[in-house]
Amino acid sequence: MSRPTGRDFTPPPIPDDEAERLATLQALRILDTPPEERFDRFTRLAKRLFGVPIVAITLIDAERQWHKSVQGLELAELPRPLSFCGHAILSDQLLLVPNAHEDARFAGNPLVTGEPFIHFYAGQPLRAPNGKRMGSLCLIDTQPHPFDADDEALLRDLALMVEHELAILQIATLDELTGLTNRRGFEALARHSLGMCRRLQRSASLLFFDLDRFKQINDEFGHAEGDRALIDFAALLRRTFRESDVVARLGGDEFAVLLTNAAHLERDAALDRLAFAVAAHNAQPGQLYALQYSVGCADFDAARHAGAAELLAEADRLMYRQKHAGRKA
């Protein structure tokens, strides 16, 4: 290949399966979560094993490359058009760039011509359990770096271990019974959403639901029927709220919905829709019992709520007040 004369570079093309890829990435609930030792240990290890100054576990979001773990670089994210890993996710194979200055895709890239002055890049794509490529485990050097078949195999092995952590993460944030996000996933998402609301001065409300006399369903109809009731209620919540709302089962018969940027009117309309849907569900022929619930609504106030835990506690208190007042929805 001839040496590029200009200082051009090629932004990574968008993969054909981009919509499914992004949906898979969102479902991992990992973007914008704090650093975690389980990922950092791989980047630390890779840095030592390969003797490179920079190692990262990157995830390619719609518009940006975000770093779940990074060693040797202060950047938390960078625009997708500049991303080397955006190129790496186009195939299942390792992307090896021995000399970025001589590669037309990268020669004029500001990360090559300026800080951190990338010369050598090796990125092994990271796949989610469904095979979609989320980002990469990548090595960067600012000078030529020898990289042989053994190195390739080692990087592939490390990437497989990172993929395993991603798979565990997915399982760890899912409520198996209902398919909703579980408490862990909810807390991570709520932290992220509330942080955005605080920055952008958007509103957020948290709805805390608890089924009424749920124990009675278990006692009278058996645990399997109790499970059925939880699955039904989860489906009713999912149908009622917007895609962008976070709907979760916190545990037992407790559920939560986090609405962002919704006016009270919108929130109340959604609660009415839910009441209507639950009533229709209960009115179905052959229903052995009625699903009933209490709900508490708390509005996010950055001055009063340090974070998701405080907001959740307030919504929980309000829910109990409703439950004890006997004002069932």
Q: Which residues bind ligand GTP (CB under 6 A)?
A: 177, 210-216, 218, 223, 226-227, 230, 252-253
CB of 204 to ligand GTP, least distance (A): 25
CB of 308 to ligand GTP, least distance (A): 22
Instruction: Say if residues 214 and 328 touch (Cβ distance below 8 Å).
Output: no
Q: Rounded distance, CA 6 to CA 4, Å?
A: 6
> In the beta sheet, which residues pair with residue 9?
none
Q: Rounded distance, CA 232 to CA 212, Å?
A: 14
Instruction: Say if residues 29 and 18 touch (Cβ distance below 8 Å).
Output: no
CB of 292 to ligand GTP, least distance (A): 8
* CA atoms lying within 13 Å on the CB side of residue 72: 22
Residue 165's CB: how many other CB atoms inside 10 A?
Answer: 19
Residue type, 1: M
Element (H, E) at 183: helix 183-200
Instruction: Say if residues 206 and 312 touch (Cβ distance below 8 Å).
Output: yes
Nearer residue to ligand GTP within complex by CB, 213 or 281: 213
CB of 162 to ligand GTP, least distance (A): 32
CB of 129 to ligand GTP, least distance (A): 24
Residue 75 is classified by DSSP as -
Nearer residue to ligand GTP within complex by CB, 216 or 244: 216
Nearer residue to ligand GTP within complex by CB, 156 or 213: 213
CB of 272 to ligand GTP, least distance (A): 22
Nearer residue to ligand GTP within complex by CB, 48 or 223: 223
**Residue nearest ligand GTP by beta-carbon distance:** 226
CB of 249 to ligand GTP, least distance (A): 9
How distant, in Å, are the alpha carbons of 52, 236, 265 from that of 223? 55, 20, 37
133-141 and 54-60 strand pairing: antiparallel
Nearer residue to ligand GTP within complex by CB, 50 or 320: 320
Nearer residue to ligand GTP within complex by CB, 41 or 215: 215
- Prior bond of 116 cis (ω within 30°): yes
**Tokens 């796949």 sit on residue:** 127
Nearer residue to ligand GTP within complex by CB, 58 or 178: 178
